[in-house]
């Protein structure tokens, strides 16, 4: 897991932000997911691998684990539902298939749990005898599965050009429309950090992060945003996540300098002032360096031209054209012998 992925994973694993992302991304801010009711589930999901054939021509299955980013269980009346977030920073053209595979792994686990429960019940009724009435272990009309809802949370710098459904990954051939009508599609729940309405519907400090992510391509506007009052006292987790996702290592290295002793948070505006000053000084330094380098070239050109017997008016005209100098600046160099 890369630095950005790990940072975002830790940030969204906090129930308040996880619930905020679901409510803002799926329900336009309606508070249908209550953070206080969420229970984090293990990321590892064990599934049954494709069977292998033994010499005896019997099949065996092996457990295989796949890992999801974040999974939570939400009670809903007497039942519960499973909510998951797949954190995505780069465009993935396999995304619908990936999410479908993850969701199916959850459903397979649930079906296997039903099979295990019914097997135990059958064995208890038959005094430990096994191998009979296998059909009784299958799901029946009274059995139900727990629904799984997975968000693809995209926060990359490029516009998403990947598929948003399994259908988008298909090549249907000549009778495209007819086959599309018949095709059993799998639509993903796509949530884009670059959508302004997403941040507008958030109620936690996730909104502050989303506003920054949306402006990463325009450093000047991003710095102006971070110097606003909203970023005068942000949580440590938000400050660190902003620094990582907006590629500002200097903020991470000097976090203690930006601590707000009054509010307990961090002043991102002070951090931005420091970055701007560093940039200004660097610009001045580079300007001096570039000026010295250009002066050396001009002097070398003048001296070389004189050795070749060229007249000063012609040399002056040449350096004005070559280096974009004003006549007055050029006169300053022409006094050099």
Is residue 181 in some structural domain? Answer: yes
Spatial neighbors of 218 by CB under 8 A, at least 6 apart, are: none
pTM for this entry: 0.73
Per-position pLDDT tens, the chain of length 337: 567 888 999 999 999 999 999 999 999 999 999 999 999 998 766 555 544 444 445 555 555 667 788 999 999 887 899 999 999 999 999 999 999 999 999 999 899 999 988 888 877 777 655 555 555 678 889 999 999 999 999 999 999 999 999 999 999 888 888 888 899 999 999 999 999 999 999 999 999 999 999 998 887 788 888 888 888 889 999 999 998 998 888 788 888 888 887 767 888 877 776 665 544 444 444 444 456 556 667 877 887 788 788 888 898 898 888 888 888 888 877 876 5
Question: How many domains in the chain?
Answer: 1
Q: How far is CA 87 from the centre of its chain?
A: 5
Is residue 277 in some structural domain? Answer: no
Residue 80's pLDDT is what? 93
Residue 127's pLDDT is what? 60
Is residue 241 in some structural domain? Answer: no
Residue 95: name the closest of 17, 191, 13 by CA. 191
Is residue 299 in some structural domain? Answer: no
Residue 247's pLDDT is what? 83
Measured CA to CA, the distance from residue 245 to residue 3 in angstroms comes to 9
Q: Answer yes or no: are the C-beta atoms of 98 and 165 closer than 8 Å.
A: no
Is residue 287 in some structural domain? Answer: no
Measured CA to CA, the distance from residue 236 to residue 71 in angstroms comes to 24
Is residue 206 in some structural domain? Answer: yes
Is residue 67 in some structural domain? Answer: yes
Is residue 236 in some structural domain? Answer: no
Its domain, for residue 204, covers: 3-214
């Amino acid at each position: 897991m890369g630095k950005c992925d790990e940072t975002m994973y830790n940030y969204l694993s906090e129930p308040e932000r996880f619930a905020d992302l679901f409510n803002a991304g799926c329900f336009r801010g309606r508070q249908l997911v209550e953070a206080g009711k969420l229970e984090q589930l293990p990321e590892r999901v064990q599934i049954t691998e494709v069977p292998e054939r033994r010499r005896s021509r019997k099949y065996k299955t092996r457990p295989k684990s796949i890992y999801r980013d974040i999974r939570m269980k939400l009670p809903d009346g007497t039942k519960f539902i499973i909510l998951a977030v797949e954190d995505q920073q780069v465009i993935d053209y396999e995304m619908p298939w990936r999410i479908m595979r993850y969701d199916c792994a959850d459903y397979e686990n649930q079906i296997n749990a039903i099979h295990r429960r019914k097997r135990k019940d059958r064995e208890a009724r038959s005094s430990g005898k096994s191998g009979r009435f296998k059909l009784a272990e299958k799901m029946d009309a009274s059995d139900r599965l727990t629904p799984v809802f997975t968000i693809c949370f995209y926060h990359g710098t490029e516009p998403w050009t990947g598929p948003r459904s399994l259908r988008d990954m298909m090549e249907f051939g000549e009778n495209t429309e007819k086959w599309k009508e018949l095709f059993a599609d799998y639509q993903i729940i796509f949530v884009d950090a670059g959508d302004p309405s997403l941040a507008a519907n958030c109620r936690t400090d996730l909104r502050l992060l989303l506003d920054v992510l949306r402006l990463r391509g325009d450093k000047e506007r991003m710095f102006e945003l971070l110097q606003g009052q909203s970023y005068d006292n942000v949580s440590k987790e938000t400050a660190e996540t902003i620094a990582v996702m907006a590629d500002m290592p200097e903020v991470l290295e000097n976090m203690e300098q930006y601590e707000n002793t009054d509010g307990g948070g961090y002043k991102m505006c002070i951090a931005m002032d420091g970055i701007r000053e560093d940039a200004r000084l660097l610009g001045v330094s580079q300007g001096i360096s570039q000026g010295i380098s250009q002066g050396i070239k001009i002097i070398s050109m003048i001296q070389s031209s004189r050795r070749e017997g060229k007249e000063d008016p012609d040399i002056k005209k040449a350096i004005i054209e070559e280096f974009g100098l004003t006549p007055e600046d050029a006169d300053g160099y022409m006094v050099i012998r």
